[in-house]
Amino acid sequence: MQEITLAPLPYPQDALEPTISAKTVSFHYGKHHAGYIKALNGLIGGTNYEGKSLESIIRDAIEHRDTPAFNNAAQIWNHDFYWNSLAPAGKGGNPSPELLAAINTSFGSFDSCKAALSEAAVKRFGSGWAWLVSDNGKLAVESTANADTPIVRSGVKPLLVIDVWEHAYYIDWQNLRAAYVKAIVDKHLDWNAASRRFAR
């Protein structure tokens, strides 16, 4: 059986401190993220999903209304993307000229873009995600609940995401989601990665 595996983190577990502690990463990545992988591998063995990419499993699961497969596959994809949306403080860079031009067109300014992303993250009711996406070339901010992911929609390309499930921040921030989000947006979003994604 060809199993889905846990992708390595792009930085050491303590690289996001103090915003995200190594303890949080050890639980979030080592328990929650890894748990979705274990669950999905248990679901797909000997099925038509086996050997397929996460993206294919997600789309096939939607078509077949297979909620368990969708939830676990989408959560793996979302978490992979989340870790690669973050960078150690001072290492995330700035939007490329092309991305910045698109930001200014869609939001009016870089600060307004960050404010919209922050608002979407803070106001997401319950568990979910806040995304900066390119929707057929136009930038937008959106939030999704639980395991939902924008990759299921044609023409939508995620650029960055903030995880606002409680396990992403509760050890470090308790109920202060807004403070966690502010720290992420101010210090840890990887705009270099977002620029590369936008250019593809």
The full set of domain ranges for the chain reads: 22-83, 97-199
Rounded Cα distance, 137 and 151, in Å: 14
C-beta of residue 130 within 8 angstroms of C-beta of residue 124:
yes
What is the pLDDT, as a whole number, of residue 1? 57
C-beta of residue 130 within 8 angstroms of C-beta of residue 140:
no
What is the pLDDT, as a whole number, of residue 3? 87
pTM: 0.96
DSSP state of 131: E
Domain 97-199 belongs to what topology? minor pseudopilin epsh fold (3.55.40)
CATH 1.10.287.990 corresponds to the domain 22-83: yes
Which residue type is seen at 75? Q
Q: Tell me the average confidence (pLDDT) per consecutive run of 10 residues in the chain, 200 residues long.
A: 89 98 98 97 93 95 96 98 98 98 98 98 97 95 97 95 97 98 98 96
- The CA-to-CA distance between both ends of the chain, in Å, stands at 32
What is the pLDDT, as a whole number, of residue 189? 98
CB atoms within 10 A of CB 67: 11
Tokens of 130: 């806040």
What is the pLDDT, as a whole number, of residue 62? 95
